[in-house]
Structure 1
Amino acid sequence: MKTAKWNGVVLAQSETTVVIEGNDYFPMEAINQEYFKESETTSHCPWKGEANYYSIEVDGKVNKDAAWYYKTPSKLAESIKDHVAFWNGVTVE
């Protein structure tokens, strides 16, 4: 079981994640939506495509753009469609 935590709260938990480039991508249904706020931030990966971000909010503290996902990943990255990955202080164990 993989668990993503930040600020003492479980953000996501799943028996199955997809690991790409050392990042665990959690299925969208495994995240605790109450902590996720859509961000305007985007970035581009040459082989995965356009990434969108969520900021995480727990007990009034915000971790800006700490989670990302690909709405429409490239053919090479189809395995992470509807999955979310974390960084910026979020621990995954």
Structure 2
Amino acid sequence: MATASWNGTVIAESDDIVTVEGNAYFPRQAVRDDVLRPSDTTSVCPWKGTASYYTLEVDGATNPDAVWYYPAPKDAAREITGRVAFWKGVEVR
């Protein structure tokens, strides 16, 4: 079972992880809805497509754009459809 934690709180857990470029992509439904806040940030990966982000909010602390996902990944990255990944201090084990 893989877990993602931030600020001392487990925010996601799943045994269905896809690893791409060293990043663990969790199924979106494995992430707690109550810690995610929408973000307007986007970025572009040449082979995966346009990424969107969520800000984490745990116990009143925020971590802007710490969660990313590809709403419509390119064909080369279709395995991450419906999945999210973490960074900015989120610990994945």
The Cα offsets for residues 16-59 of structure 1, whole Å up to 9 and x where unpaired, read as 11000000000011000100001000000000000000000011
How many correspondences in the alignment?
Answer: 93
Aligned to 1:28: 28
Pair 1:90 & 2:87 matched: no
Q: Structure 1 stretches of 5 or more lacking a match? A: none
CA distance in 2, matches of 1:16, 1:82: 12
Identity of aligned residues (%): 53
Q: Structure 2 stretches of 5 or more lacking a match? A: none
Pair 1:57 & 2:57 matched: yes
CA distance in 2, matches of 1:54, 1:62: 11
Q: Amino acid of the residue matched to residue 49 of structure 2?
A: G
Aligned to 1:43: 43
Aligned to 1:13: 13
TM-score with structure 2 setting the length: 0.99
CA distance in 1, matches of 2:59, 2:76: 38
Segments ≥4 residues shifted beyond 2 Å: none
CA distance in 2, matches of 1:17, 1:70: 15
